[in-house]
């Protein structure tokens, strides 16, 4: 997602001219399974043997996602199918492992507790791999992203990702993200340390709500993962823009419960296989997400 401004996928649910219509069209729908498909390759017997028996028994793995983070995961134009980069990568991994990845809707902040409670078997929802999250889950990397600052078009308040321009303003992010949990609080702390007013942090349950708040002037700016912010800015009918370049680039990881045995290793091998056979590149190209490509999957590589 280092080239977040190049996101140009065409989706029925976000083709509306106005931002409000765009957001409303993507916010609906309930649980659903992805219809994404891999382009090549079949099951790998060695990797499939590492899949837990509890998953083999019913032939599917339940994957939690928050489908408000286009183009990574979103609700399709039919109002129920979960589409995007993550579901299609999941479908491709499922082919390698001989099981079906069934994506179900959740709020982002409920996914990690749900995994810990056994409600879900995996989480694929643009999770940045962090040391804090690694305390309770394993993360198998498959993508990378930074953070972008999204503001009203024209940047009327001359905001920036550097300096103290956000001090005293209302800045929003989705609940449970690194932007809401650490980025904005750290920025606000620096503001007060420098004798400025604290940032008025506004946390919303999903990204669609953040976008709507920016479109209606309830917030001054928003922080989100670079590909997502860039995508929304491009689809906003010139209502939003991105300021500066992405920062704090880090890997995304598939969230795996720590009691899953060799499943993390199986997933790592499957990611490497779809990278090698070309399926991975085709999926990213389809969703104009090439800037987030990695060349090799790793497990638990967070630096902070």
Q: Which of 64, 60, 84, 83 lies closest to 72, judged by CA?
A: 84
pTM: 0.81
In the predicted model, is pLDDT for residue 22 greater than 60?
A: no
CA atoms within 13 A of residue 22's CA, in its CB half-sphere: 26
In the predicted model, is pLDDT for residue 10 greater than 70?
A: no
Q: What is the overall mean pLDDT for the chain?
A: 88
What band does 20 get if pLDDT is binned at 50, 70 and 90? very low
Residue 122 CA, chain-centre distance (Å), reads 14
What angle do the packed helices 263-276 and 85-97 form, to 10 degrees? 110
Helix and strand numbers, DSSP H then E, in the chain? 12, 11
Model confidence pLDDT, tens digit, residues 213-264? 999 999 999 999 998 998 889 889 999 999 999 999 999 999 999 999 999 9
* Helical residues (DSSP H) of the chain, grouped into ranges: 19-27, 45-48, 53-56, 85-97, 108-116, 131-134, 178, 184-193, 207-215, 226-234, 263-276, 279-286
Q: Is 58 exposed, middle or buried (0-12, 13-18, 19+ CB in 10 A)?
A: exposed
Q: Classify 163 in phi/psi space as left (phi over 0), alpha (psi -120 to 50) or beta.
A: left
DSSP code of residue 216: T
Model confidence pLDDT, tens digit, residues 159-199? 999 999 999 999 999 999 999 999 999 999 999 999 999 99
Q: Which domains does the chain have, with CATH numbers?
A: 4-20+28-145+252-292 (3.40.190.10), 146-248 (3.40.190.10)
pLDDT of residue 15: 35
């Amino acid at each position: 997602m280092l080239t977040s401004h190049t996101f140009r996928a065409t989706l029925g649910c976000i083709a509306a001219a106005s931002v409000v219509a765009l957001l409303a069209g993507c916010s609906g729908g309930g649980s659903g399974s992805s219809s994404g498909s891999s382009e090549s390759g079949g099951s790998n017997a060695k990797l499939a043997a590492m899949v837990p028996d509890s998953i083999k028994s019913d032939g599917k793995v339940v994957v939690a996602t928050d489908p408000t983070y286009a183009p990574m995961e979103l609700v399709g134009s039919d109002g129920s199918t979960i589409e995007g980069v993550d579901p299609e990568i999941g479908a491709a991994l499922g082919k390698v492992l001989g099981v079906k990845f069934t994506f179900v809707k959740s709020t982002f902040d409920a996914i990690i507790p749900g995994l810990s409670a056994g409600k879900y078997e995996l989480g694929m929802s643009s999770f940045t791999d962090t040391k804090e999250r690694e305390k309770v889950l394993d993360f198998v990397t498959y993508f990378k992203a930074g953070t972008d600052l999204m503001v009203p078009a024209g940047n009327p308040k001359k905001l920036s990702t550097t300096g103290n321009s956000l001090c005293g303003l209302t800045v929003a992010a989705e609940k449970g993200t690194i932007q809401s949990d650490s980025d904005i609080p750290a920025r606000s702390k620096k503001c007060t340390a420098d004798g400025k007013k604290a940032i008025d942090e506004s946390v919303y349950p999903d990204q669609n709500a953040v976008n709507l708040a920016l479109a209606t002037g309830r917030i001054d700016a928003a922080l989100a993962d670079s590909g997502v912010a860039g995508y929304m800015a491009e689809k906003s009918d010139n209502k939003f823009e991105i300021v500066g370049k992405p920062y704090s680039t880090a890997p995304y990881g598939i969230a795996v419960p720590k009691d899953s045995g060799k499943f993390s290793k199986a997933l790592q091998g499957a990611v490497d296989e779809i990278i090698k056979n070309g399926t991975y590149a085709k999926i990213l190209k389809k969703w104009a997400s090439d800037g987030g490509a990695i060349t090799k999957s790793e497990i638990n590589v967070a630096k902070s």
